[in-house]
Amino acid sequence: MRRLARLMTHRTVAWVTVVFVLLVAGGSTWLAMRVAQDDDLLAFLPADDPDVKHFHELARRFGGLDVALVGIDAGRERSVFTQDFLGRLKRATEELADTRGLDGVVSLDNVTDFIADREKGGIITGPLVGKVPPDAAGLAALREKVLSRDHVVGTFVSRDGRATLLYCFLAHGSNPRRVASAIAQVVDKHFPQNPRYWGGNPFISAYIFDTTQQDMRRLTPWAVLAMVIVMMIAFRDLLGTCLALLSTSFGIVIAIGLMRLCGEPINLVLSSMPVILFAVGSAYGIHILAHYYVRVRQREQALPGEDDGQRRAAAISETLCATGPTVLAAGLTTVVSLLSFLAMDLRPMRVFGLFTGIGVLVTLILSLTFIPAVARLVKLRGRVEGGAGAAVDRVLVPLVDAMQKWRVAAGVVLVVVALGAGVAVLRVENRIDATNLFGPGSPPDRADRFMARYFGGSQFLQVHVKADLDDPLVLRELTYLGDRLRFFPHVSSVVDIGSVISRANEAMEGQRRIPDTRAKVKMLAAFVSGEVAVKQLVAAQRRQALVQVKLGTSDAAQLEKLLADIERWVGNDRLRSYQRVSVGDRGAGLAARSRQRAMVAARLRAALASEGVVLGDARHAALVRGLEQPAPSLDRRPIEAQLRRFLRSQECAAPLPKTLADGSDPAPKLAAALVALGTPPARVARQPRQGGGAGDELTPWEKKVRAVIVQTLATPGQPTNAELVDDLLLSVQTPLAELTDGEAARQHTLALLRRAGVTLPPGGVGVRGRAAVAAALLDLRVPQVLMPRGAGGARQATTVGPEATPAAAATPTAAAASLTLLPRVNGLPTIHRALSRSALHNQLFSLATALIPVILIMVVLFRSLTAGLLVATPTLVTLLLIYGGMGLLGVRLDIGTAMLACIILGAGVDYGVHLVACWRDPGGDRREAARVAVRATGTAIWTNALTVAIGFFVLTMGDARPLQNVGGLTAIAMLAAALATFWTIPVLARKAAYGRAVQGGAAASAAGAPAPASNPSRDLTVPSEEDALPRPTSARGSE
Amino acid sequence: MTARSISGAPRVPSPRVVTGLIALALCGLSVFGLAAVAHADQRGKDLIACLDKKANLAKDQYFVYDMVIHEPGRETRTMVMNVWVQAAMRLVHFVAPGDVKGTKVLIRARDEMYVWLPAFSKIRRITSHAKKQSLFGADYNYDDQSTVRYGDVFDPQYLGEEKGLHKVRVKATSRSDSPYGSIDLFLRKDDCLPVKLFYYNEQGKHLKTETRDEYSCLKVACTARVMKMVDHTRNNHWTKMVRKEWKVNTGVSARKFSRRALQRSF
């Protein structure tokens, strides 16, 4: 330090220093303005955590993070089923569909529906809403129709018809903030008067990022202004304050410029760097200047005729020698504390720690070089008269005296408080959830409440499954998984690829169920593959799937328990490994039949629940018993009517003549004759056939059908139209079989519900409910099921022949008769859990990493282990108090509070350094040493504590929840650290002086003490005798 | 030359005359403008008529295409399809990969489309609202495939020349039922064949860009070997059709484009 002091007294060196610093600062400013901005909030997830890795993998595969949800409340209209609202929804949906960055949008306006076309035949796949009816009756009918669709209610429209939800799927690589903004613009344009709610990752991350950025932009100037005012009141030195702030600003721009050089973008946490640096770093310059003013004043009084330049040079030299080590040590503790962030498992936090540490280091270096250089070149004249010092002394000196007088009592109180705080620390929860990121009333919170109220919640869990998803049996197993998950507490709905394939199959076969053959599943999967929502359910060439579980709670404790329950359940070995078993009446077959009935029962219960019909246990048990009873005999008349309609539809490829030779309509006659043939053979025999109709290739059943067609169309005296017969043979077989199966299931449903005493509500809900039950009952005809390995005699399972197993016949790999489901739970709750683990890990590791070097620096500075520990003790007490307070107040650990310990350690330990550095009485009186130290440092320490506290407190006035937490807690912590310093050290100090290295001139510089000239004795007592005597010869400059 | 009075002094035109002259000039300009617009429209119509004629010279055509679907962030998917075209009718038969093999799409007219799904042994009608939708996630929708004569669906307007190509804007008419508001076609000067098409919605937002490259001619027909459709709204999701085989005037029967044929192997 003496060498540096000698160097800085040279005028040339001072010029070079100033010019060099200005050039570097200018260059850094240029670089800093070009630093990239990283708005990826996912970077704040611990990358090595297994849950996070899984989350990222799923996000990449399924794009789960790319869904923006827009909720719209009908507002005054109270219903979305008005011409005006639906018209606006249509326009908004169309505009969103054409919005750049969006892969697609699904809303009430364009969600598809399947309805039977009675005129042209088949099933029409069309928009559920379609053309908006102009009159009230039409709108009422539309409302009833929409609200009868279980896959629409609670997903696109609320059960009361008051609110609607739009799903906007972002295209791969889109900027979520930009697209979120574009979506908001469109929706705002079309629904300016309606309450609107923005949910999903793009909106939430945009909100968090924008709010934090806005807060930092808005509050940083105020925080800096508040700090300047406090400094001005304390030191009454505008120039010095500005110079200190300037050197801190240089520290900031140089750190950010370095980031640009390293190619490191500025992240969300780094945006708080200016406030932290201004709060922490500006003190160093103030310390140097305050001491410099004292020295100048002393020399003016002692040597009135001294040359001005020589006086400044000497004052600088003395200041650096006396204050330098203390300022350096105080700064290094802060740097080390910030560098301890490198022990964290979050990259953005490591970057923050590294570059903020560099910023503090640069500020520290500038305080010891640039500020003295400016002082050497420019005549700075700060006021050394005490400001608020006298008042502070009047309070602090008696307090310290009292601590010394009643050391034991004060010590006991300290221990009790520390122990109490220590106990309270154990109550600190490290549970992170959304409330850590946004507060009540914020847009994401409002959206969360809106979703919970109208759409069953906004939180999702995903069960990740790896399996052959082209296999109908696997899809049924997936649906079974979902049907049971549906009845976990707080689960509001479950969606999986099986349900999507079922819906698509409704358009093909008229039944909402998983088709029976692999070929059908593959074809339906290919058809729905272009739909944006499907991409979130299946990936990796249909070898991986997600079961999306919507949760009706956002409460962290409930989510945690539910997550654990589901993980335990899904992790059950019985769910992991399956084998294919034929249904039968003995041994493994009987067990398979039992499992099949259980699956159908679960399906019935879930299907009815999604229609709003919740079965009690008794009713459900009655339904299960009913499944064991045989189906009623089939009334075929309805089949005849339906087949007649098909024969006249456009989907019947064979043009049936309008009349027969006798003038009658051939359709009823043919339909009756075909139905009279009886039930078509089991689905196993119905492999798709294409091509001609040569008689010798026909199965016995086909021969019968062909004969009926020939007989019906026969015209006496005319040859049979063979081509028409073949076309009809090809056309009618599938519809005849499907209609027969469907009608049988329908009649079975009515009987089953009647036997179980289940009454469905009238109208659409009842119709859909019965259709869902009928579709489920068709699964009882499937000849195979998957059995968990080792369950119910599954070891006896055999590979079954194609006659009994159409699925197996269509599945070459089925011969292996074994497959595996690998379910794993993922979703936001697992991410919260990973973040909680990370917060605790980071808290402990960074604190340990910082604490040891800080104590080492203290030991080196004071050349005493005791002194080092003494200096660190107030900070440790502060940490206990703050974390104990968090435990008592229910403030939870999160990423922000994980930063807190290091900031408190870095900034708070300074107070102990300065107090102990001035702790000295030549007479060996401990009490006098305490008084000397308090008079020398009290004002400065409290000024600094107030400055930092006010600077951070301003951050609590923003909207960003993390900033509020960090700002408020740091503000309190700084005041607590100051108080702990003046309580702990007087109680624990056992000597009248500590540390040879810093004793002496350091005292006057302590924490920027202005060392008021109004009390000359204080001026003379603070510096060491050696340093206090002006020695012009030692400060010989180069002027 | 300035008009002079009998006395030789310059004659100052009365304000009424000036107003009349200005009005006359404006009328002249507007008439000229209208004529120019009319001329442009006529030019556009001629070019589109030329394009439609060129595109429909062959009695029938048969193609084999590789359809490559590229979705950013996902695996690229390739499908192989055979396409038969006769007048406004088109039959698309997917032959690979396995999960779509056998699927056929029959377009008999812009408002009459069917799909055959072999696994279900069924014909399904495609309703008109679905025209904006694509098959198997491709960027070509049903409407793109069913538009064979632009003049029947759109009103053309000539916009001038750009980079050595005619630029014609065709706007959807009320009768067109097109999912697009307008399309800008860049036609080659020598044969009016389009090399680039910009698709816009009704608000004029650029949705897609189609390029048609490597034209070649066989008998009376000229077609592009490579066609690529880029959907800008989906972060440049694209679909490329690469012609692998091409026959012209094969004599295919009109029965091939019937519903009956869909379910049979011929």
Q: Residue B118 corresponds to which tokens in the numbers above?
A: 């072999």
Cβ-based contacts of B201 with chain A (< 8 Å): 94, 98
User: What pLDDT is stored for residue A1026 in this prediction?
Assistant: 36
User: What pLDDT is stored for residue B264 in this prediction?
Assistant: 74
Burial class (CB in 10 A: 0-12, 13-18, 19+), A918: buried
Of A122, A125, A690, the CB nearest to B118: A690
Percent of chain B with pLDDT over 90: 29
Question: How far away is chain A from the Cα of B26, in angstroms, using its nearest Cα?
Answer: 40
User: What pLDDT is stored for residue A746 in this prediction?
Assistant: 92
Of B99, B117, B260, the CB nearest to A727: B260
* Residue in A with minimal Cα distance to B103: A523
> Residue A1037: pLDDT above 60?
no
Rounded to 5°, the CA angle A152-A157-A162 comes to 155
In the block, which residue shows the tokens 């005359």? Answer: B17
Q: Residue A408 corresponds to which tokens in the numbers above?
A: 């034991």
Return the bridge partners of B126, or none: B113
Does the beta carbon of B239 lie under 8 angstroms from any beta carbon of chain A? no
User: What pLDDT is stored for residue A576 in this prediction?
Assistant: 67
Mean pLDDT, range A220-243, rounded to an integer: 79
Rounded to 5°, the CA angle A221-A372-A918 comes to 90
Cβ-based contacts of A97 with chain B (< 8 Å): 233
Low-confidence ranges of chain B (pLDDT < 70): 1-40, 127-133, 146-148, 175-176, 265-266
* Per-residue pLDDT tens over the stretch A344-375: 888 888 888 899 999 999 999 999 999 999 98
The dihedral over CA atoms of A852, A853, A857, A858, expressed in degrees to the nearest 10, equals -20
Of these ranges, A325-329, A545-549, A668-672, the one predicted with the greatest mean pLDDT is A668-672
User: What pLDDT is stored for residue A118 in this prediction?
Assistant: 57
* Per-residue pLDDT tens over the stretch A560-579: 888 888 888 887 766 667 78
In the block, which residue shows the tokens 């032959």? Answer: B95
CA-wise closest residue to A908 among A990, A972, A1000: A972
User: What pLDDT is stored for residue A747 in this prediction?
Assistant: 94
Burial class (CB in 10 A: 0-12, 13-18, 19+), A664: exposed
Burial class (CB in 10 A: 0-12, 13-18, 19+), A143: middle
As a whole number of Å, the end-to-end CA separation of chain B is: 83
Note whether A508 contacts B122, CB cutoff 8 Å: yes
User: What pLDDT is stored for residue A420 in this prediction?
Assistant: 92
Note whether A527 contacts B262, CB cutoff 8 Å: no
Per-residue 3-state assignment (H helix, E strand, C coil) for A940-979: HHHHHHHHHHHHHHHHHHCCCHHHHHHHHHHHHHHHHHHH
* Per-residue pLDDT tens over the stretch A702-760: 888 989 999 888 887 777 788 888 888 888 888 898 889 999 999 999 999 998 888 88
The rounded distance, in Å, linking the Cα atoms of A523 and A472 is 12
> Residue A1034: pLDDT above 60?
no
Mean pLDDT, range A540-566, rounded to an integer: 83
Mean pLDDT, range A451-463, rounded to an integer: 85
Question: How far away is chain A from the Cα of B116, in angstroms, using its nearest Cα?
Answer: 10
User: What pLDDT is stored for residue A1013 in this prediction?
Assistant: 34
* Per-residue pLDDT tens over the stretch A973-1007: 989 999 999 889 988 888 777 765 454 444 444 43
> Residue A690: pLDDT above 70?
no
User: What pLDDT is stored for residue A210 in this prediction?
Assistant: 85
CA-wise closest residue to B226 among B207, B251, B205, B246: B246
User: What pLDDT is stored for residue A386 in this prediction?
Assistant: 52
Cβ-based contacts of B200 with chain A (< 8 Å): none
Of these ranges, A394-403, A694-703, A804-813, A817-826, the one predicted with the greatest mean pLDDT is A394-403
The rounded distance, in Å, linking the Cα atoms of A1029 and A1011 is 16
Cβ-based contacts of B103 with chain A (< 8 Å): 523, 526
Cβ-based contacts of A173 with chain B (< 8 Å): 72-73, 235
Note whether A525 contacts B71, CB cutoff 8 Å: no
Q: How confident is the model at residue A540 (pLDDT cuts 50, 70, 90)?
A: low
Three-state DSSP at A1006 gives helix
> Residue A291: pLDDT above 70?
yes
Of A98, A520, A734, the CB nearest to B207: A98
User: What pLDDT is stored for residue B32 in this prediction?
Assistant: 52
* Per-residue pLDDT tens over the stretch A182-192: 999 999 999 99
Q: How confident is the model at residue A816 (pLDDT cuts 50, 70, 90)?
A: very low
* Per-residue pLDDT tens over the stretch A828-851: 778 888 888 888 888 888 888 888
Radius of gyration of chain B (CA): 25
CA-wise closest residue to B266 among A692, A706, A730, A656: A692
User: What pLDDT is stored for residue A428 in this prediction?
Assistant: 84
CA-wise closest residue to A673 among A738, A732, A588, A718: A732
Q: Residue A244 corresponds to which tokens in the numbers above?
A: 């200190």
Cβ-based contacts of B72 with chain A (< 8 Å): 171-173
| Region of poorest pLDDT, from A243-247, A648-652, A685-689 | A685-689
pTM score: 0.73
* Per-residue pLDDT tens over the stretch A778-815: 999 888 888 877 654 444 333 333 333 444 433 433 33
Distances in whole angstroms, Cα of residue A122 to Cα of each of A494, A651, B99: 29, 6, 23
User: What pLDDT is stored for residue B118 in this prediction?
Assistant: 84
In the block, which residue shows the tokens 């100037």? Answer: A221
Mean pLDDT, range A246-254, rounded to an integer: 90
pLDDT higher at A697 or A314: A314
Q: What is the DSSP letter of A152?
A: T
CA-wise closest residue to A544 among A49, A58, A53: A58
Note whether A508 contacts B232, CB cutoff 8 Å: no
Of A126, A651, A690, the CB nearest to B129: A126
Rounded to 10°, the helix A926-953/A201-235 angle is 140
Q: What is the mean pLDDT of chain A?
A: 81
Mean pLDDT, range A302-321, rounded to an integer: 85
Note whether B203 contacts A98, CB cutoff 8 Å: yes
User: What pLDDT is stored for residue A73 in this prediction?
Assistant: 94
Mean pLDDT, range A538-549, rounded to an integer: 82
The rounded distance, in Å, linking the Cα atoms of A302 and A313 is 15
| Region of poorest pLDDT, from A167-176, A249-258, A822-831 | A822-831
Distances in whole angstroms, Cα of residue A641 to Cα of each of A304, A645, A653, B218: 121, 6, 19, 53
Three-state DSSP at A332 gives helix
Length of chain B: 266
* Per-residue pLDDT tens over the stretch A121-180: 555 666 788 788 888 898 998 898 888 777 788 889 998 899 999 999 887 778 888 899
Distances in whole angstroms, Cα of residue A51 to Cα of each of A56, A409, A825, A828, A835: 9, 50, 9, 10, 10
Note whether A530 contacts B99, CB cutoff 8 Å: no
Contact A233, A388 (CB under 8 A): yes
Pick the residue of A125, A534, A541, A697 with the most B CBs within 10 A to test the interface with B by mutation: A125
Three-state DSSP at A796 gives helix
Q: Residue A208 corresponds to which tokens in the numbers above?
A: 């968090």
Of A124, A525, A726, the CB nearest to B99: A525
User: What pLDDT is stored for residue A1036 in this prediction?
Assistant: 34
Distances in whole angstroms, Cα of residue A7 to Cα of each of A17, A310, B144: 11, 14, 80
The rounded distance, in Å, linking the Cα atoms of A250 and A29 is 8
Mean pLDDT, range A615-629, rounded to an integer: 86
- The helix or strand, by DSSP H or E, that contains position A868, with its residue range, turns out to be helix A865-889
The rounded distance, in Å, linking the Cα atoms of A808 and A800 is 8
> Residue A503: pLDDT above 90?
no
In the chain, the amino acid numbered B170 is V
The rounded distance, in Å, linking the Cα atoms of A1004 and A291 is 7
Q: Residue A231 corresponds to which tokens in the numbers above?
A: 């400094």
Contact A1018, A1011 (CB under 8 A): yes
> Residue A601: pLDDT above 50?
yes
Question: How far away is chain B from the Cα of A173, in angstroms, using its nearest Cα?
Answer: 7
State the greatest distance between any 2 C-alpha atoms of chain B, in Å, as a whole number.
101
> Residue A238: pLDDT above 90?
no
